[in-house]
Amino acid sequence: MDLGLTDRCVVVTGGSSGIGLAAVRILLKDGARVAFCARGAERLEAVAAELGDAYGPDRVLARAFSVLDPEAVAGFAEEVGQRFGGCDALVTNAGQGRVSTYADTSDADWREELELKFFSQLHPIRAFEAMLRASGQGAIVAVNSLLALQPEPHMVCTSAARAGVQNLLKSLATELAPDIRVNSILLGLVDSAQWQRRYEAREDKAQSREDWFAALARAKKIPLGRLGQPEEPARAIAFLASPASSYITGAKLEISGGVSRFA
C-alpha cells in the first residue's frame, strides 16, 4: 500500500532508539525525509550516519537536545523549515515510563513526570504547528500508553499523567482541525531499550533473555503471547502520519497484543 509519504517531511522526537527509531526507518523507506532528535548525541549521530548512508544525507536531519527545552525545540523547528521547506507530520514519541506506586511517588517525582508527559507533547506541537498547518495535510501522531485508560498499581504516576495527555490530545484534535489531524497510539508492552534495561536489572541473572520476556508476557496475560516489536507500532505511526489516514482524527489505536481489559 502506498501511504503517499514520498518526499513528505516527518519529524520524530526520540528517534535514536526503540519505537522512534523503527518509525524513522519505515518513514525513510517509504520515501519521506525525516528529522529526529534525542538527548544522547553519540547514539543519535551513529544512527543518523547509518541512515544517511542508506537513504542519502540530504533526507536525514538529526539533532541532540531534550524536548523539555522549548528553545532547543523551537531552534530545531527552524532548522527543519530551512532544510526541508516545511513539516507535514510530527510524531511525539520521546519519553520513558516511571515505575512507582502512590506511596513512593514524591511531589518532586509527580512534577517531573507531569512535566515530561505534557511538555514532551506541548513543546514540539507548538514549535511545528505553523508548518503543519501550512502543509495542507498536517498530522500529529502521539505515542501514548494503554496506561492512559488502564492504570497499573506499580505505575500510578505515569498512568495518571498519560490519562491527562490522552485528554489533551482529544482537545487538540478539535482545536487544530481541520488543518492538522491529531491521533495517538496506545502501547502495551513493546520490546525496546526500556524493557532491555529492566531485563538487565533482573534478579535472577541466570534467566535467559528469551525466558525472561516469555515469563513477562505470561505474567501480563498478553493474548498474542509475546511483547510487541518496535516495527509493529512503527507501522501504525507511519500510517497515521501519512495522507493514507486523511479522514482519521481524534482517534486512538491500541497496539498491545490484545492486553486491554475494556471493550
For ligand NDP, the binding residues (CB under 6 A) are 13-20, 37-40, 43, 66-68, 93-97, 143, 145, 187, 189-190, 192-195
Q: Which is nearer to ligand NDP, 110 or 195 (CB)?
A: 195
Shortest gap between Cβ of 54 and ligand NDP (angstroms)? 18
For 116-119, the CB contacts below 8 A with 24+ separation are 116/68, 116/161, 117/158, 117/161, 117/162, 117/164, 117/165, 118/161, 118/164, 118/165, 118/168, 119/67, 119/68, 119/70
Residues in the chain: 263
Grid cell locating 205 = 541473572
Q: Which is nearer to ligand NDP, 33 or 98 (CB)?
A: 98
Q: Which is nearer to ligand NDP, 4 or 252 (CB)?
A: 252
Q: Which amino acid is at 52?
A: G
Grid cell locating 121 = 507533547
Shortest gap between Cβ of 179 and ligand NDP (angstroms)? 25
With beta carbons less than 8 A apart as the criterion, state whether 14 and 20 touch: yes
Shortest gap between Cβ of 64 and ligand NDP (angstroms)? 8
Q: Which is nearer to ligand NDP, 96 or 137 (CB)?
A: 96
Shortest gap between Cβ of 4 and ligand NDP (angstroms)? 25
Shortest gap between Cβ of 136 and ligand NDP (angstroms)? 28
Q: How far apart are CA 15 and CA 178, in angstroms?
A: 27
Q: Which is nearer to ligand NDP, 66 or 207 (CB)?
A: 66
Q: How far apart are CA 134 and CA 147, in angstroms?
A: 33
